[in-house]
């Protein structure tokens, strides 16, 4: 079906005064005595193309004005008569491709995001989702470009695993075994399972990412991770997109530098490539968003150690729901206080107590903390978790034993420390959380296609 993209018709002057074919869905329409207007959208741009139907040619245009129906229009692109300039299309012929009855749920101009969540298959046709998913696409491509142009190898790590990277007990089990009351023990049950052992959906590609970094130097993964966290929050989904770079010959300060450079770089790309979308979010969702993003590109991120952060939080003139003591995990309220009230920009918290972090992190000389870094962003909280990795076999083994881990599933990982071990580090970016930060959308369920959350598969 030969036709022009509406984004091109709107922006490319070579269409002016030319006969052109466009296809799209009717977003709004209005009828008057001599002409009727259709705002047509084909998904390629947030802006609609206004199609003008002259009543001399279209005596009864009512079939073309029905919200949600799909049309093919042949017409001439002409300068717009409206006060906003631009172009519109004067229609010659119109064909209805698909009708749309009045029960089409997107009749009103504005719906709440909560309502739209109940129609995930149709909500994408609303302006908000047109903008969210374009920003998402541009940011994904910008991340790829960032790493591709710096000699990182894009690797695809397995999604089914026998090991637990984060050790937080949040793994979904993978099984083909039916419930069988005859089975005597767990061991017997899993021996008969598909892989002959217990297996899970991966919470992170990091462990395999480290394997790759020890061969290719710099790698990144970008794919889904799965977490069976029972937290029903605006920041958690059970299936999220995870970008995980891993870098050989890198220590914690290098990891911080890469994170900051990467975030600034991709936000800059979004500002360049999605000006209309970001202006839309600034107007409708987060006033000041553009200023926030422009400042981000130019300001140095904050850096604070966990120990210093605890002191700041203890002195804070705020009633936290969760009390603060050295050793406690930072809650969202603490993270947001640091990023929003104290630093007013993204801030790294480094060197967390080893007890609240995973086994693989490099142990600091103090014997109490590890070389971890979380990046906290205003409005969202943690968007990145990373660290330098423990490269010393004996220390790593000790950390795993302290945690009571069985070593079977980690033999290959441990061998990396035996054969040419090097200082290395990496991080995991929660891609949806970056989208939340970049768009000002406050609920993670509105930046992913079909959210999977506790008690519900949308």
Contact residues toward ligand 4AD (CB under 6 A) are 165-166, 204, 206, 227, 229, 236-237, 240, 242, 244, 382-387, 426-428, 430, 432-433
Nearer to ligand 4AD, 177 or 231 (CB): 231
**363 neighbors 390 (Cβ within 8 angstroms):** yes
Q: Which of 133, 114, 103 is nearest to 43 (CA)?
A: 133
Cα angle: 156, vertex 409, 402; to 5 degrees = 120
Nearest approach in angstroms of CB 204 to ligand 4AD is 4
Q: Of ligand 4AD, Mg ion, none, which one does residue 427 interact with (CB within 5 to 8 Å by kind)?
A: ligand 4AD
Nearer to ligand 4AD, 20 or 206 (CB): 206
Q: Which of 136, 378, 391, 376 is nearest to 259 (CA)?
A: 376
Q: What values do phi and psi take at 447, rounded to 5?
A: -120, 10
Nearer to ligand 4AD, 242 or 264 (CB): 242
Q: Of ligand 4AD, Mg ion, none, which one does residue 42 interact with (CB within 5 to 8 Å by kind)?
A: none
Nearest approach in angstroms of CB 360 to ligand 4AD is 8
Asked if 386 is part of the footprint of Mg ion (rule: CB under 5 A), the reply reads: no
Nearest approach in angstroms of CB 7 to ligand 4AD is 31
Q: Which of 369, 365, 410, 361 is nearest to 386 (CA)?
A: 361
Stretch that binds Mg ion, among 65-73, 354-362, 381-389, 436-444 (CB under 5 A): 381-389
Nearer to ligand 4AD, 91 or 267 (CB): 267
Q: What values do phi and psi take at 230, rounded to 5?
A: -85, 20
CA distance to 109, 134, 219, 254, 356, per residue, from 351 (Å): 49, 36, 24, 14, 11
- List of residues 6+ apart from 2 with CB closer than 8 A: 21
CA distance to 163, 275, 287, 340, 419, per residue, from 378 (Å): 33, 21, 14, 5, 42
DSSP-derived pairing of the beta strands 49-54 and 153-154: unpaired
Nearest approach in angstroms of CB 431 to ligand 4AD is 8
Nearest approach in angstroms of CB 384 to Mg ion is 8
Nearer to ligand 4AD, 44 or 358 (CB): 358
Nearer to ligand 4AD, 31 or 329 (CB): 329
Asked if 440 is part of the footprint of Mg ion (rule: CB under 5 A), the reply reads: no
Q: Cβ-count burial of 109 within 10 angstroms (0-12 exposed, 13-18 middle, 19+ buried)?
A: exposed
Stretch that binds Mg ion, among 82-90, 168-176, 307-315, 377-385 (CB under 5 A): 377-385
Question: Helix, strand, coil shares of the chain as percentages rounded to 5?
Answer: 35, 25, 40
Nearer to Mg ion, 199 or 206 (CB): 206
Nearest approach in angstroms of CB 192 to ligand 4AD is 31
DSSP-derived pairing of the beta strands 49-54 and 87-98: parallel
Q: Of ligand 4AD, Mg ion, none, which one does residue 166 interact with (CB within 5 to 8 Å by kind)?
A: ligand 4AD
Nearer to ligand 4AD, 147 or 427 (CB): 427
Nearest approach in angstroms of CB 377 to ligand 4AD is 9
Rounded Cα gap, residues 68 and 101, in angstroms: 8
Nearer to ligand 4AD, 4 or 370 (CB): 370
Rounded Cα gap, residues 213 and 248, in angstroms: 6
Nearest approach in angstroms of CB 412 to ligand 4AD is 17
Rounded Cα gap, residues 131 and 126, in angstroms: 9
For residue 449 the two structure tokens come to 């296609």
Q: Of ligand 4AD, Mg ion, none, which one does residue 227 interact with (CB within 5 to 8 Å by kind)?
A: ligand 4AD
Q: Of ligand 4AD, Mg ion, none, which one does residue 210 interact with (CB within 5 to 8 Å by kind)?
A: none
Asked if 385 is part of the footprint of Mg ion (rule: CB under 5 A), the reply reads: yes
Nearest approach in angstroms of CB 386 to Mg ion is 9
Nearest approach in angstroms of CB 19 to ligand 4AD is 48
Measured between alpha carbons, how far apart are the two ends of the chain, in Å?
33
Nearer to ligand 4AD, 22 or 201 (CB): 201
Give 29's strand partners: 38
Residues that bind Mg ion (CB under 5 A): 385
């Amino acid at each position: 079906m030969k036709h022009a993209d509406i984004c091109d018709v709107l922006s490319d002057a070579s269409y002016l005064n030319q006969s052109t074919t466009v296809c799209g869905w009717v977003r709004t329409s209005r009828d008057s005595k001599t002409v009727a207007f259709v705002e047509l959208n084909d998904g390629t741009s947030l802006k609609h193309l206004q199609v003008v139907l002259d009543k001399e040619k279209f005596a009864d245009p009512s079939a073309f004005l029905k919200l949600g129906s799909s049309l093919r229009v042949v017409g001439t692109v002409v300068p717009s008569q409206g006060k906003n300039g631009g172009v519109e299309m004067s229609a010659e012929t119109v064909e209805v491709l698909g009708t749309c009855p009045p029960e089409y749920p997107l009749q009103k101009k504005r719906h709440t995001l909560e309502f739209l969540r109940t129609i995930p298959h149709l909500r994408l046709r609303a302006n908000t989702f047109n903008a969210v998913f374009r920003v998402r696409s541009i940011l994904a491509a910008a991340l790829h470009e960032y790493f591709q142009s710096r000699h990182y190898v894009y690797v695809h790590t397995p999604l089914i695993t026998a090991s637990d990277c984060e050790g937080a007990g949040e793994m979904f089990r993978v099984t083909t075994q039916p419930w069988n009351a005859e089975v005597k023990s767990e061991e017997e049950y899993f021996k008969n399972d598909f892989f002959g052992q217990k297996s899970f959906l991966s919470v992170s590609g990091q462990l395999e990412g480290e394997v790759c970094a020890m061969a290719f130097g710099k790698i990144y993964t970008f794919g889904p991770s799965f977490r069976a966290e029972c937290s029903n929050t605006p920041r958690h989904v059970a299936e999220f997109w995870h970008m995980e770079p891993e870098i050989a010959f890198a220590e914690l300060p290098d990891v911080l530098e890469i994170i900051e450079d990467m975030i600034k770089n991709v936000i800059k790309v979004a500002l360049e490539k999605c000006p209309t979308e970001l202006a839309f979010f600034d107007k409708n969702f987060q006033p000041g968003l553009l200023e926030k993003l422009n400042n981000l590109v130019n300001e140095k991120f904050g850096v604070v150690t966990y120990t210093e952060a605890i002191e700041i939080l203890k002195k804070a003139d705020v009633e936290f729901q969760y009390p603060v003591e050295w050793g406690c995990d930072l809650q969202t309220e603490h993270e947001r206080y640091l990023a929003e009230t104290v630093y007013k920009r993204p801030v790294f918290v480094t060197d967390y107590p080893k007890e609240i972090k995973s086994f693989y992190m490099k142990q600091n000389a103090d014997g109490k903390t590890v070389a971890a870094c979380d990046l906290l962003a205003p409005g969202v909280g943690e968007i990145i978790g990373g660290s330098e990795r423990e490269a010393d076999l004996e220390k790593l083994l000790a950390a795993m034993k302290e945690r009571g881990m069985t070593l079977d599933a980690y033999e290959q990982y441990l061998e990396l420390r035996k054969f040419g071990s090097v200082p290395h580090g990496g991080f995991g970016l929660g891609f949806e959380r970056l989208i939340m930060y970049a768009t000002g959308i406050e609920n993670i369920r509105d930046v992913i296609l079909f959210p999977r959350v506790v008690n519900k598969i949308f």
